[in-house]
Structure 1
Amino acid sequence: MTEKTKLIAPRLPRGFEDRTPGEIAAVGAMIDKIKAVYERYGFDPVETPLFEFTETLGKFLPDTDRPNAGVFSLQDDDEQWMSLRYDLTAPLARYFAENFETLPKPYRSYRQGYVFRNEKPGPGRFRQFMQFDADTVGAGGPEADAEMCMMMADVMDALGLAGQYVVRVNNRKVLDGVLATAGVTTDEQKLTVLRAIDKLDKFGTEGVKLLLGAGRKDESGDFTKGAGLTAEQIEPLLTYIGSGTPAEGVEKGSNAHVIATINTLAGLIGGSETGLQGVQELASIFGLVSAAGFGGRVILDPSVVRGLEYYTGPVFEIELTFQVQNEKGQPVVFGSVGGGGRYDGLVSRFRREPVPATGFSIGVSRLANALKLTGNLGSTEPAGPVVVLVMDKDQMAGYQAMVAELRNAGIRAEMFLGNTKNFGKQVAYADKRNAPAVIIEGSQEREQGILQIKDLIAGKQAAAAITDNAEWKAARPGQFEVKREDLVTAIKDLLAAQQ
């Protein structure tokens, strides 16, 4: 006896997922709506490859043996390290710098595609996921930032989420001014403060206060070391993150709220020139937002800091405001589905002159989940092809001719290619394919020059009202007869009626 070949277990690596036709169709329709808004604002598509030289990505650089954890990397035949992109922004910076002489300035583009993170996967945390970005490179004024925020609001409206989101805006320069006033000077301490403020939604003010001080212990007993600030240093920072809360009787996002918040921020930055620039930029952004009629949809929120270190000015985030249940069954706000900001230093890694840039990234998978929860994702089961059943194996040419006629008329169609001995299994196959109809031509129909067309959608609806099997067979719900030459016209009429 020969030893049996060992079979390979069909396993999907952790952190990755397969996508079904329904999911692909639903997300594709969502992406088409986002594209339409981006293009209405004057943005054009560009596509960069999945791989870049590791040094191009910037965040992760090679050590002595291989790039640090965080990206998927390999060496090419020249022994140069390449990595799968972990976002769409760093590749854009490389593309713009490489094509600097030929591209228009400002350069407005959008990009959609998969990005990869070599990190520990978990619930809702994947190693491969899709992003959809829009960026303006070469425009340094707050007008570009304001436009980005307004475009994101229009995207949410186009997706059916009107009234269920806000675009939250802040400026990292203001926070830099507040930090300087509080005496926070080292880069390490600044980064710890940023991360602490970023946890406001998760831990609340008291939790942030602990993280700004000695540290915080969670329910499991794990301790997170804090920024080590004194009570005197923490006080202006807590005032800062609380400055976005409107006074009693003032509507959040209103002009009165924006003006009051900007005045509070101006009083917290001391004599910081950087902080003053940030306050002035926020005033300009919200002047434009108000004039364009986006007040209430785009709001000022000083607690928005964004995690990436390369942001240099305004930062923004889309937050969906409806409630869902978390893994513990507790009601929580759905939260962020995208964010971005100004990153004036990123392109300058490739060129000596300063190149301003601002952009936004949408998390496609997370946004699709939100649309599914709100009933705005669309059909998850796309219509299948019309299926021509095979009743007589010696008549395959005739069946194939029918399929060709339908396809030439722009109708999705296929001939059944499986085991044709069982008629019921052929119909069951068409049902599983979500076919709108099947076409039946046996010897009797062929002699008479007719076809039987079974409308599977109408058949399912009619069959639901029939309880007796004999009655169902006699009624043949959804089935009708047409002349052979009327096949295409009949199918077109049937598909139109099913819309």
Structure 2
Amino acid sequence: MAKDKKQPRPKAETPKGFRDYFGQDVTERRDMLDRIAQVYHRHGFDPLETSAVETVEALGKFLPDVDRPNAGVFAWQEEAVPGGGTAGDWLALRYDLTAPLARVAAQYRNDLPSPYRRFAMGPVWRNEKPGPGRFRQFYQCDADTVGSASVAADAEICGMLADALEAVGIDRGDYLVRINNRKVLNGVLEAAQVREDQAEDVLRQIDKFDKVGREGVLALLTTGRLDDSGARIDGVGLSEAQAGPVLAFLEAKDADNAATLDNLSAAVGGSAIGAEGVDELRQIAAMLAAMGVAEDRAVIDPAVVRGLGYYTGPVFEAELTFEILDEKGRKRQFGSVAGGGRYDGLVERFTGQKVPATGVSIGVDRLLAALRAKGLAGAEVVGPVVVTVMDRDRMSDYQAMAADLRAAGIRAEVYLGNPKNFGNQLKYADKRGAPVAIIQGGDEAERGVVQVKDLILGAKIAAEASVEEWKSQPAQTEVARADLVAEVRRIIG
């Protein structure tokens, strides 16, 4: 009888588009999110955790077709298993935190307070082509108010976003929350007599204002232009007279909010929806001033055009204004780390009733990268105190030492590898980033003392000190067993 072929060993590799996060990465992200959560909590927002899995219908995606069963999302059909759903139902990993909020707001609408204010933090998944810095699993950090049509909710989100950036360490002057309004743009399109079938094309072209400037956008709105490669880009087909209000809108930013708002009023002309949008921005500016959020922290800025195709009212983004060096050593501004705005239809597709909502999403990985660029993250994580094992028959004594340290609030562990080679124990402590090693052999145990080795000082002495300095500043001291906690606390501060 032929023997079964030996199965090949699986490759120890991360799936494409995914990554692993180790101690320091996890700690830095958790600390940053904890600070943001404290700000949201102070503003009266409640935390919400939803399932990582939602129905495809709840996510708002169309049922995947036969050829692309996972288009955009990681989806699968429910099997007929005990306790499962109906066979054939499509389930998917959530691709954002907003769609689950819509489902929660509809499902628990009779139990939740209205308005409902919540924040959520967690991983989301996108079944998209990965690339440099683009992963198929990443973290989001959202805060939303559901059920309030008042622009006070938008102003609160903007002020809270500014507070959150400062809470994680971004100084005033290094960030700016920029605010615009889709209604103002609608008024501009009305004043420019833009046809409904041209509106989306106009939106796409004005989104290029930062890249191609006034003349570039004018060409794109009218007859077209050549790109950097010489290829022809067709224009929308507006006349220069029609393009005028659009350009006035994009260039309305002035020395202060009052002047900017006056310019926007002129850009929308006699449009009622445009005037409504300008009035909403005036209210937001006044409320931010009353909240102590000055114009050096949040400002009305018509140049914020991203997302205007999705949002229905105020729209905002947080931009970091300091410069960093790119991979080629060139200075560039860090850019946007958060965005949001007001949107309708959040719960409507579940209940048939419009429910106003506004919210913001912080790019977790991007903000953490900014903190590292500013030297506000990435500090060395101090490992646990390591209690070494000199006599494996006295493991209980070593565990008692670690327990005493933990009871005092000091991170500590007992070495659980093979204790035969003491050098390996110190190598382990070094790899763990341990600040201190505790040593107690049989002789020390009989005398009721322990050796406390300051590993940080020891490394510094070995690298820098002369023999005389080393003798006068020993990194290892002997103390009574009863004084162990006090000595370790003195060393680690």
Corresponding residue SS for 1:350: helix
- Structure 1 residues 230 and 146, CA, compared in 2 at 3 Å: closer, same or farther? same
- Structure 1 residues 414 and 291, CA, compared in 2 at 3 Å: closer, same or farther? closer
In structure 2, what is the Cα distance between the partners aligned to 1:329 and 1:230? 42
Is the 8 Å Cα contact of residues 203 and 308 (structure 2) preserved in structure 1? no
What is the 5 A alignment of 1:81-160?
A: 81-160=90-169
Query: What does residue 194 of structure 2 align with?
Result: 184
TM-score normalized by structure 1?
0.89
Is the 8 Å Cα contact of residues 106 and 347 (structure 2) preserved in structure 1? yes
Query: What does residue 82 of structure 2 align with?
Result: none
Q: Amino acid of the residue matched to residue 236 of structure 1?
A: P
Q: Amino acid of the residue matched to residue 270 of structure 2?
A: G
Q: CA deviation at 1:226?
A: 4.9
Corresponding residue SS for 1:74: strand
Q: Is the deviation greater in 277-286 or in 60-69?
A: 60-69
Corresponding residue SS for 2:14: coil
Query: What does residue 254 of structure 1 align with?
Result: none
Query: What does residue 363 of structure 2 align with?
Result: 363
- Structure 1 residues 460 and 326, CA, compared in 2 at 3 Å: closer, same or farther? closer
- Structure 1 residues 223 and 84, CA, compared in 2 at 3 Å: closer, same or farther? farther
Is the 8 Å Cα contact of residues 183 and 233 (structure 1) preserved in structure 2? yes
Aligned-pair RMSD on alpha carbons?
2.5
Corresponding residue SS for 1:120: coil
Q: Is the deviation greater in 190-199 or in 278-287?
A: 190-199
Query: What does residue 302 of structure 2 align with?
Result: 302
Q: CA deviation at 1:434?
A: 0.9
In structure 1, what is the Cα distance between the partners aligned to 2:432 and 2:91? 41
Query: What does residue 173 of structure 1 align with?
Result: 183
Corresponding residue SS for 1:307: coil
In structure 2, what is the Cα distance between the partners aligned to 1:476 and 1:422? 27
Q: Amino acid of the residue matched to residue 372 of structure 2?
A: K
Corresponding residue SS for 1:464: helix
Q: CA deviation at 1:213?
A: 4.2
In structure 2, what is the Cα distance between the partners aligned to 1:402 and 1:76? 52
Q: CA deviation at 1:170?
A: 0.4
Query: What does residue 62 of structure 2 align with?
Result: 61
Q: CA deviation at 1:224?
A: 5.7
In structure 1, what is the Cα distance between the partners aligned to 2:326 and 2:383? 36
Equivalent in 180, 201, 209 of residue 200 of structure 1: 209
In structure 1, what is the Cα distance between the partners aligned to 2:238 and 2:15? 43
- 1:319-378: CA deviation from partner (whole Å, max 9, x where unpaired): 11111234554322111000100012222222233211111111111001111111222x
Q: Amino acid of the residue matched to residue 134 of structure 1?
A: A
Q: Is the deviation greater in 343-352 or in 207-216?
A: 207-216
Query: What does residue 446 of structure 1 align with?
Result: 445
Query: What does residue 8 of structure 1 align with?
Result: 10
Q: CA deviation at 1:201?
A: 2.8
Q: Amino acid of the residue matched to residue 455 of structure 2?
A: L
Q: Amino acid of the residue matched to residue 324 of structure 1?
A: I
What is the 5 A alignment of 1:256-335?
A: 257-296=256-295, 297-307=297-307, 309-335=309-335
In structure 2, what is the Cα distance between the partners aligned to 1:489 and 1:95? 51
Is the 8 Å Cα contact of residues 173 and 313 (structure 1) preserved in structure 2? yes
In structure 1, what is the Cα distance between the partners aligned to 2:124 and 2:212? 29
In structure 2, what is the Cα distance between the partners aligned to 1:121 and 1:200? 28
In structure 2, what is the Cα distance between the partners aligned to 1:82 and 1:208? 43
- Structure 1 residues 404 and 293, CA, compared in 2 at 3 Å: closer, same or farther? closer
Q: Is the deviation greater in 438-447 or in 201-210?
A: 201-210
Query: What does residue 478 of structure 1 align with?
Result: 475
- 1:417-448: CA deviation from partner (whole Å, max 9, x where unpaired): 22322222211110110112111112222232
Q: Is the deviation greater in 283-292 or in 4-13?
A: 4-13
Q: CA deviation at 1:206?
A: 3.8
Q: Is the deviation greater in 398-407 or in 436-445?
A: 398-407
Is the 8 Å Cα contact of residues 322 and 334 (structure 1) preserved in structure 2? yes
TM-score normalized by structure 2?
0.90
In structure 1, what is the Cα distance between the partners aligned to 2:274 and 2:334? 31
- Structure 1 residues 214 and 261, CA, compared in 2 at 3 Å: closer, same or farther? same
What is the 5 A alignment of 1:459-474?
A: 459-466=458-465
Q: Amino acid of the residue matched to residue 465 of structure 1?
A: E
Q: Amino acid of the residue matched to residue 95 of structure 1?
A: V
| Identity score, percent | 52
In structure 1, what is the Cα distance between the partners aligned to 2:235 and 2:466? 68
- Structure 1 residues 192 and 23, CA, compared in 2 at 3 Å: closer, same or farther? same
Query: What does residue 484 of structure 2 align with?
Result: 487
Query: What does residue 348 of structure 2 align with?
Result: 348
Work out whether 1:236 is the aligned partner of 2:245: yes
Corresponding residue SS for 1:153: helix
- Structure 1 residues 309 and 236, CA, compared in 2 at 3 Å: closer, same or farther? closer
- Structure 1 residues 396 and 455, CA, compared in 2 at 3 Å: closer, same or farther? same
Is the 8 Å Cα contact of residues 195 and 307 (structure 1) preserved in structure 2? no
Long gaps (5+) in structure 1? 252-256
- Structure 1 residues 454 and 225, CA, compared in 2 at 3 Å: closer, same or farther? farther
Is the 8 Å Cα contact of residues 61 and 67 (structure 1) preserved in structure 2? no
- Structure 1 residues 348 and 294, CA, compared in 2 at 3 Å: closer, same or farther? same
- Structure 1 residues 193 and 118, CA, compared in 2 at 3 Å: closer, same or farther? farther
Long gaps (5+) in structure 2? 80-86
Corresponding residue SS for 1:316: strand
Q: CA deviation at 1:100?
A: 0.5
Q: CA deviation at 1:126?
A: 2.1
In structure 2, what is the Cα distance between the partners aligned to 1:383 and 1:402? 19
In structure 1, what is the Cα distance between the partners aligned to 2:92 and 2:223? 38
Q: CA deviation at 1:24?
A: 1.3
